[in-house]
């Protein structure tokens, strides 16, 4: 029996569980207005695949192709994303009294951020399904990533971003040939224009959570973490949540690994969402134990990727926090800036402000005694600080 290139079977609404056909272009559940999740034949996958076989394949996220949505290898659009390093942080750990502190450095991706994973998956699948044009609303880095992968695929792309997005995001999108529209307002305003452009031009809008395959790319962070930790997951994962898809995607990955029987034990990490105090809808909802977020008015933060007033996947983010016994924490821009310097000076990593926010959050978590010294704690740095220089 030959094993398929992908075990993808169908899509499922994350709320009402209605099934959707995977072999045509899908967006989100029209009834619930919630994201669709990609489903796989886990029974067959568990029978045919072994967790160790992925290790010897060529590096990059596509070595997990059986658990990703693309059906035909020829459709993969890659720039070498994935398999970013996991670095021990002994000196920063000392500062916080944490013996096992780690950083997964997603800045070592194409376009310098974790957004590469999601857009590699989305653009690959879009090409496979015959999509001729792509649009995206973005707080910055996702736009740069879409633009790059669309160029690589030869598919025209339109990027909508706030006019005050870091200029590196504007430049990187333009140089690869995307049509960039600067929007007075926030990503929520850009989102409306992206939907409208998609409708007018027959394009696919690959907005966070409104397209089901970006999440599949992002979940490979979870696979890599499990593999790197010997299939015994860390105690705590700290993640900066703007759109929050990475957080939900890593959680999805852990669920999948459990179904596959690849984890050494039943131990799952407590997931922490970090937001900026000037835009903290997830923190506000979490503190009320709400199922969804309210739109955050007058969102403001220099960590542009965290300037997302309401995520389309808010329900999934909050579920992740509740199910994992996690937490949501807000930190100020001043704390982020100090933390960025602390991480840089102590460990040599020049992180994006979103990534540095995790270090700021560590202060809070230690103050509250929410972390104990011997727990293993993994921070995600979502991107390079180079993109935020003035």
Contact positions vs a copy of itself (CB under 8 A): 55-56, 58-60, 78-80, 83-87, 91, 105, 107-112, 147-154, 167-168, 171-172, 175-177, 228, 340-341, 344-350, 384-387, 389
Q: Which two tokens stand for residue 29?
A: 């559940």
Q: Which two tokens stand for residue 134?
A: 């792509």
Nearer to a copy of itself, 60 or 137 (CB): 60
The C-alpha atoms of residue 266 and residue 38 are separated, in whole angstroms, by 23
Query: Is 99 buried (19+), middle (13-18) or exposed (0-12) by CB count in 10 A?
Result: middle
Q: By three-state DSSP, how is residue 156 classified?
A: coil
Shortest distance (Å) from residue 323 CB to a copy of itself: 30
The C-alpha atoms of residue 38 and residue 83 are separated, in whole angstroms, by 22
Shortest distance (Å) from residue 348 CB to a copy of itself: 3
Nearer to a copy of itself, 292 or 341 (CB): 341
Shortest distance (Å) from residue 350 CB to a copy of itself: 5
Shortest distance (Å) from residue 79 CB to a copy of itself: 6
Nearer to a copy of itself, 115 or 315 (CB): 115
- Sheet bearing 19-21, strands edge to edge: 19-21, 8-13, 34-40, 28-29
Q: Which two tokens stand for residue 156?
A: 């025209």
Query: Is 285 buried (19+), middle (13-18) or exposed (0-12) by CB count in 10 A?
Result: buried
Nearer to a copy of itself, 289 or 390 (CB): 390
DSSP state of 157: E
DSSP β-bridge partners for residue 351 = 384
Nearer to a copy of itself, 108 or 260 (CB): 108
Which spans in the chain are helix H?
42-48, 90-96, 115-128, 141-153, 167-175, 187-201, 214-228, 245-260, 281-287, 314-323, 333-347, 353-367
Shortest distance (Å) from residue 239 CB to a copy of itself: 19
The C-alpha atoms of residue 283 and residue 293 are separated, in whole angstroms, by 9
Count the Cβ atoms, other than its own, within 10 Å of residue 385.
20
Shortest distance (Å) from residue 94 CB to a copy of itself: 11
Nearer to a copy of itself, 148 or 215 (CB): 148
Nearer to a copy of itself, 26 or 382 (CB): 382
Shortest distance (Å) from residue 54 CB to a copy of itself: 11
Shortest distance (Å) from residue 111 CB to a copy of itself: 7
Nearer to a copy of itself, 72 or 196 (CB): 72
């Amino acid at each position: 029996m030959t094993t398929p290139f992908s075990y993808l079977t169908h899509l499922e609404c994350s709320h009402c569980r209605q099934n959707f056909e995977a072999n045509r272009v899908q967006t989100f559940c029209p009834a619930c207005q919630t994201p669709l999740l990609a489903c796989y034949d886990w029974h067959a996958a568990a029978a045919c695949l072994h967790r160790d076989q992925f290790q010897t394949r060529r590096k990059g996220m596509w070595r997990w192709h059986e658990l990703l949505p693309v059906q035909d290898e020829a459709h993969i659009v890659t720039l070498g994303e994935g398999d970013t390093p996991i670095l021990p942080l002994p000196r920063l750990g000392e500062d916080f009294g944490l013996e096992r502190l780690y950083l997964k450095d997603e800045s070592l991706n194409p376009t310098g951020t974790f957004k590469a994973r999601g857009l590699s998956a989305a653009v690959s699948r879009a090409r496979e399904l015959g999509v001729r044009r792509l649009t995206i609303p973005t707080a910055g880095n996702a736009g740069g990533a879409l633009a790059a992968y669309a160029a690589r695929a030869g598919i025209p792309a339109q990027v909508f971003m706030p006019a005050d997005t870091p200029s590196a995001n504007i430049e990187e999108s333009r140089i690869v040939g995307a049509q960039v529209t600067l929007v007075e307002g926030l990503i929520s305003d850009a989102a409306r224009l992206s939907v409208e452009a998609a409708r007018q031009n027959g394009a696919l809008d690959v907005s966070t959570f409104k397209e089901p395959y970006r999440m599949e790319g992002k979940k490979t962070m979870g696979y890599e973490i499990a593999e790197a930790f010997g299939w015994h997951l860390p105690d705590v994962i700290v993640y900066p949540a703007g759109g929050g898809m990475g957080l939900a995607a890593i959680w999805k990955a852990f669920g999948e690994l459990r179904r596959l029987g690849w984890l050494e034990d039943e131990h799952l990490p407590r997931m922490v969402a970090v937001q900026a105090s000037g835009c903290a809808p997830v923190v506000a909802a979490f503190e009320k134990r709400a199922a969804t977020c309210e739109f955050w008015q007058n969102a403001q933060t220099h960590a542009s990727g965290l300037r997302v007033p309401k995520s389309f996947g808010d329900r999934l983010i909050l579920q992740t926090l509740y199910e994992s016994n996690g937490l949501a924490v807000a930190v100020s821009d001043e704390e982020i800036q100090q933390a960025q310097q602390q991480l840089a000076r102590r460990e040599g990593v020049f992180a994006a402000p979103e990534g540095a926010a995790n270090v700021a959050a560590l202060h809070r978590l230690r103050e509250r005694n929410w972390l104990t010294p011997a727990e293993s704690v993994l921070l995600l740095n979502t991107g390079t600080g180079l993109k935020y220089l003035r």
